[in-house]
Chains A and B, each alone.
Chain A
Amino acid sequence: MSHKIVVPIGPYHPLQEEPEYFRLYTEGENVVDIDIVLGYVHRGIEKLSESKHFDQVPYLVERICGICSNSHPFAYVNAVEDLAKIEVPERALYIRTIIAELERLHSHLLWIGLAGHFIGYNTVWMWAWRYREPVLDMFEMITGNRQHYAMMKVGGVRRDILETDVPLLKKTLDELAPAADMFKGAVMDDPVIHARLKGIGVLTKEQVIEWCVVGPTARASGVDIDVRRDDPYGVYDKIDWNVIVQKEGDVFAKAVVRILEMYESISIIRQCVDKMPKGEIDANVKDVPAGEGIGHVEAPRGECFHYVRSDGTNRPVRHKIRAPSYVNVASNKVACVGGTISDAAITLAAVDPCYCCTERTAVIDRQTDKKILNGWDLVRLSQEKTQRLKK
């Protein structure tokens, strides 16, 4: 009889440092099954939303996620605008697009840094987060906040982008482009990263379709979907840009998609700043009629979906939210199985999952009940594999 050992990653994820529990069933080094337990930070936001009026909900849904805190309000306002058939002033649409792409930039830089750290490239981690800082500075300049920008409102945006802000925004983008070149070189030309990430955590095209996976995780497996192009919102249909697709489906392909998407984001923001017309930024919506509406946006991690139903009062009677990690994390069931324990860390991280908090993990031998490994040992195992490859 084979000797199966359960490797619990969580309930606080040791790498993302957020609460989520992956129970890996292993035989020797190999992962043979995985059980995913979540809900540790479930706050009942759908239910809470029913007690807020339509103008308060963006502040609530902004707090679903600290990293893509613009995507949820953006999807929500799209849903209410679909429900009430509201025309949004063009300048507001440009501002929404700029904020959404700045968010993608900082989110992808965050992921590149973390992924570098997981495989033992701490220099990549430090450099990526160093270049993320100026992006957060742009948020502070435009919105007043580094996170939770509070820009979206039904019918428009809350703050304008001032003429005096534009030169610094352009300068920051000009400085970010060479940094993106550097990351592209650091990842795509490094033989050790090729050896470490290629063929690891593969998600095939068929699996992506079966599990209804979205975003960069789907695009890295050759599934060409992107809400920005497929169902344009904001001004994505007025801008020249490309959807980045890779075929391999491994962790390397996911990294490549995110790095190349940064170039597209920089280009989109530049075009928006140049084309942005002057004018109103708010349609001044007074009432939301009875009805139902659907809004979805391409968040940095994939499609973020909101369904809103109104009964004609000033509060939603139902508000359904589906974040991209909800479907992407579920796909770890297939991506992780068949790999080794030392690859589990980077494979689980490759979908860029989104949860929050601190670390706690232990590897326990089921037969003797003795602790074998803790969270940092998992990071060490992953980093040691890279070291071996470097030799």
Chain B
Amino acid sequence: MTALSEIKDGLGEKIVDCYQHSPKRFYLKIKSKDLKVAADFIFNQLKMRLVTCTGQDTPQGIEILYHFSLDKTGEIFSLRLLLEDKKNPSIETLALLIKGADWIEREMWEMLGINFIGHPNLKRLLLAEEWPKENFPLRHEHEHE
């Protein structure tokens, strides 16, 4: 049984859309409310490793990709979700579930202004203390010199 079919069996209708870009690269769209259940299943049941997350400012909202790697086969499954409220994007934290998510959530919080609800230590990771608040470098409205 392939990992993809295991995910589809385990998460059922929580997978809104799925596409395979190349033999070992899969992108699975989910709703933001299902993130914790999906991540828990993929990390704890299927034993995948959280590589990192990519946050992105898109015209439709703030998009987050959670890249999971199945090291046995070299496949990478990226969970994709969209936070439509660009003013106050927020999502449940994964840091309590996966310790490796701690830093990348802090980074997305300071770079894109995404609020990770329940994060145990949501403070700046890379930006300086004196960097102005509400100025998120990876948002498109941010002008860099």
Contacts and interface: CB of A to CB of B under 8 A. Distances in A.
A214 B65 CA distance: 20
A82 interface: yes
Interface bracket on B: 35 or more
Interface string A282-300: 0000000001111010000
B138 A294 contact: no
Interface in A299-344: 303, 305, 307, 309, 318, 320, 322, 326-327, 330
A226 B52 CA distance: 17
B21 A231 contact: no
Interface in A114-159: none
Given A42-B126, A44-B144, A85-B22, A212 B51 contact: yes
Contact of A294 (B78, B103, B127): B78
A225 interface: yes
B94 to A, nearest CB: 11
A292 to B, nearest CB: 7
A46 B144 CA distance: 12
A307 B54 contact: yes
Contacts of A227: 74
B21 A330 contact: no
A357 interface: no
B125 A209 contact: no
Contacts of A371: none
Interface string A259-301: 0000000000000000000000000000000011110100000
Nearest to B65: A307
A25 interface: no
Nearest to A44: B137
Interface SS, A side: mixed
B72 A320 contact: no
Contacts of A212: 49-51, 98-101
Interface residues of A, number: 35
B54 to A, nearest CB: 4
Nearest to A320: B54
Nearest to B97: A210
A47 interface: yes
A85 B124 CA distance: 37
B21 A322 contact: no
Contacts of B49: 209, 212, 214, 225
Interface string B112-142: 0000000000001111100000000110000
A85 B25 CA distance: 12
Given A307-B65, A322-B51, A39 B128 contact: yes
Interface of B: 21-22, 24-25, 27, 47, 49-52, 54, 56, 65, 67, 69, 71-76, 78, 98-104, 124-128, 137-138, 144
